[in-house]
Amino acid sequence: MRLTFLGAAGEVTGSSFLIEHGTTRFLVDCGMFQGGREAHGKNLSALAFDARSIDFVVLTHAHIDHSGLIPRLAALGFRGPVWCTRATAALLEIMLPDSAHVQEADAAWKNRRKHRSGRFAHADLAPLYTVSQAQQCLAQLQAVEYDQPFAPAQGISVTLRDAGHILGSAIAEIIAKSQTALRKLVFSGDLGQPGRPLMRDPTRIEEADLLVVESTYGNRLHRAPQSTEEELVAAIHSAFGRGGNVVIPAFAVGRTQEVVHVLADLVRRGRLPRLTVFVDSPMAAAASAATRRFNALLDEEGQEVARWIARHKSQFNLRYTESVRDSMAINQVTGGAIIIAASGMCNAGRIVHHLAHNLPRRQAAVLITGFQALGTPGRRLVDGAKELILHGERVAVRASVHTVGGLSAHADQAALLDWLSGFRRAPRQTFVVHGEAETAAMFGDEIRARLGWKTVQVPERGASFNFD
């Protein structure tokens, strides 16, 4: 058996792992690289193998850094099934065509800029994949239930367990049989923080021969829920008291739904007054509808808050904005509104317009609620930038900026170590992935020190390992 790390090795995005078992070749995740100037080049070269040789894909969840290159894989000749949970399949029907639209729009913008500058020597840039290609690959999705084993190939059994990260997110348990051995591989995917709103806690796993575990927040702890709540309430009251808006960049899938839940619960408990909340993202609106469709996957509190929102629309005025015209109209609201928009790292989409409009205003506040990759505008805000370049224009940062870490969809260091402690014995080999290089290395050290596991490695992108 051979495992090759195609992405998310020494960095957070681009999750993709190639497993070769006898004559069977398959991927766990097929994600897009995001953030920084090198991302496009990495995405172009990420699938540097014969896509037709891949028998199937096991997908842990719908976030683009785990799923975003599936349309490109299919366009290059992959014809096998993509196995995922039913909720993930529903989200991919929303997210992959949207990702393709972004690819097409970005390529068109770059080509227009090239032509305006008179640089005709090179051919026009092509998108990574088209909307048509994204829609076509959806036919390859094979949806399964949590905890129900399936056999994607001879000698291989897979079970998807609830990872508690976003709707439909999964831990992949893979049992590979040969004539001489049986090996169990576990891929954590992205693990959720226990006790979070909406999602259930990650499923405990007791054994593995080979473990691949994420480390996004492997070097830090999230704020306690009470501390997070106090900071959130204080930031909103302060901005409203100054006559400003609160702008929240949020991933359309997962984070937006959780932020809406938290805000509604604060109003329900009297911590915040009546709120007007704009969710300015067609994809977030569609993902919210999918969340309602799969309501049974939420924890009990999540289901109760959803019922409260439906009954108290006068106290929690939730507005989903579809058209560009309606999105632009939000800018006429100068204070007292909460504006949630994608993208979560502030590098594309409608959030860019709202930041450009609100960042120069001292009355406004920006709440950062999720991980911000290196090279993104969101990361520069977190790091204290005094100005950003948005749509080619310099925008002063005068609004207050708050990092609300307790709302992260990723497990922090303590939660990751607690999940790992559920293994009855150390895996024969553990690989730490999905973390910036320094973070992954620090978390590897923590695993060795706290759990006493000896065989822990932080692989580099492109590295391969053989197992008997």
pLDDT band at 253 (very low <50, low <70, confident <90, very high): confident
Q: Which residue has the tokens 């049974």?
A: 296
Judge if 258 and 215 occupy the same domain: no
Is residue 205 domain-shared with residue 79, that is, in the same domain?
yes
Cβ-contact 218, 367 below 8 angstroms: no
Same domain, 71 and 126: yes
Whether residues 260 and 120 share a domain: the answer is: no
Categorize the per-residue pLDDT at 444 as very low, low, confident or very high, splitting at 50, 70 and 90: very high
320 and 421 housed in the same domain: no
Residue 339 near residue 280, CB atoms below 8 Å: yes
Please check whether residues 187 and 276 belong to one and the same domain. no
Residues 152 and 38 occupy one common structural domain: yes
Domain total for the chain?
Answer: 2
Last residue of a domain, one of 407, 436, 455: 407
Range of the domain at 202: 2-220+409-466
pLDDT tens, position by position, 283-310: 889 999 999 999 899 989 889 999 999 9
Per-residue pLDDT, averaged over 397-414, amounts to 89
pLDDT per position as a tens digit, 170-191: 999 999 998 778 999 999 999 9
Banded model confidence at residue 80, pLDDT cuts 50, 70, 90: very high
β-pair partners for 4:
18, 464
Identify the helix (H) or strand (E) that includes residue 270: none
Supply the pTM of this predicted model: 0.88
121 and 264, same domain (yes or no): no
Q: Are 258 and 340 in contact (CB under 8 A)?
A: no
Angle, nearest 10°, between helix axes 225-241 and 255-268?
80
- Does residue 423 carry a pLDDT above 90? yes
Question: Do both 191 and 262 map to the same domain?
Answer: no
Is residue 212 within 8 A of residue 188, CB to CB? The reply is yes
Residues 379 and 418 in one domain: no
Q: Name the band, by pLDDT with cuts 50, 70 and 90, for residue 254.
A: confident
Taking residues 130-140, report their average pLDDT. 97
Tell me if 58 sits within 8 A of 83, measured CB to CB. yes
CATH code where residue 261 lies = 3.40.50.10890
Q: What is the pLDDT of residue 448?
A: 98
Answer with the one of 375, 407, 439 that is the final residue of a domain.
Answer: 407
Average pLDDT over residues 194-204: 91
Are residues 419 and 302 located together in one domain of the fold? no
**Is the pLDDT assigned to residue 201 strictly greater than 80?**
yes
Burial call 291-314: b when 16+ CB within 10 Å, e when fewer = beebeebbeeebeebbeebeeeee
Q: What is the pLDDT at residue 376?
A: 86
Q: Which of 376, 392, 407 is the last residue of a domain?
A: 407
Residue 51 sits in a domain of what CATH number?
Answer: 3.60.15.10
402 with 443, same domain? no
